[in-house]
Amino acid sequence: MREASDGSAQPMGAQRRLRRIGVVPHPARMINGPLRALDAWAEEHGADVVQIAVRGQEQEVAEPGQVADCDLVLAIGGDGTMLAAIRAALGAGRPVLGLACGSLGVLTAIEADGLGTALNRFSGGDWRPRRLPALVVSRDGADELLAFNDIALVRAGIGQVRVTTEVDGVLFSRLAGDGCIVSTPLGSSAYALAAGSALLTPETDAYLLTPLPTHGGSRHPLVISAGSELRLEATPGIGGARLEVDGQIAQTDPPVLTVGLRRDVATLVAFPEQEHLFASLRRRQIIVDSPRILADDGRD
């Protein structure tokens, strides 16, 4: 066991030889430096590098390969690239390592100059699995959807969308306005936080309902137990409504949705000294101290 940056004891990952690494690159950003470092490490250690196909990917950086044949999926980009890599790795159950191009985000674990060291540590078992929960969205006559950040049920044009929300069969609210967001603990630091909602610590065994601006009435965020079921029923206005899953449009004028939280859906590669969520949000000035505190600091 090793103590993590959040103070909790975390099991370390298993040693595994890296025979094949599947890479998911940022769709547009220049990533030549990290790719050269990856190719050099792979050549030195006798590993293959292949590219895993994901939706919307237009940048080709390696020969195509299947995620099931890989020992590790490496995302090179930001948190959006990480979400794409996580989805790609799901079916094969492969761990995902995030390399940041730019500043570290919430999901990426290492900066570009740390790639070789991170791959060595992963191979040697000096890492810890970071298990991610996901929202599971059920719809009549359609496949389940998974969201690692959030789902948003929002108006698609002019007019309001009316949303009725129930928790375990009990009516919570009826809203008329822009819609609502349902977030995982991780996703509470994304769209929900931008909308002025609560922030859940990553270890919270719950999920979050955040109403968007409404035409009057109560608009309270709600923390929902992981074992509870949320039901959303939307009545679109003139412009219609849409369902977004992790920022991507999944359906227009969605039917009744049933939402729950499923534990341990995906595995990220993390390291014991990795930056805590709070530190990441403060570094990027998403969380900022009160002006009076900052003024006092300036005088000091």
Show which residues are catalytic: 79
Element (H, E) at 295: helix 291-299
Task: Extract long-range pairs of 239-243: CB within 8 Å, 24+ residues apart.
Answer: 239/155, 239/156, 239/157, 239/158, 239/159, 240/155, 240/156, 240/157, 241/153, 241/154, 241/155, 241/156, 241/161, 241/179, 242/153, 242/154, 242/156, 243/137, 243/151, 243/152, 243/153
Element (H, E) at 82: helix 79-90
Residue 300 structure tokens: 């000091």
Could you tell me if 54 and 87 are in contact, meaning their C-beta atoms sit under 8 angstroms apart?
yes
The C-alpha atoms of residue 87 and residue 99 are separated, in whole angstroms, by 16
- Beta-ladder partners of 233: 164
DSSP letters spanning 20-78: EEEEEE-SSS--HHHHHHHHHHHHHHT-EEEEEP-TT-----S-EE-GGG-SEEEEEES
Of 247, 200, 251, the closest CA to residue 226 belongs to 200
Q: Are strands 150-155 and 179-183 parallel, antiparallel or unpaired?
A: antiparallel
Residue 267 structure tokens: 């595995």
- Beta-ladder partners of 266: 132
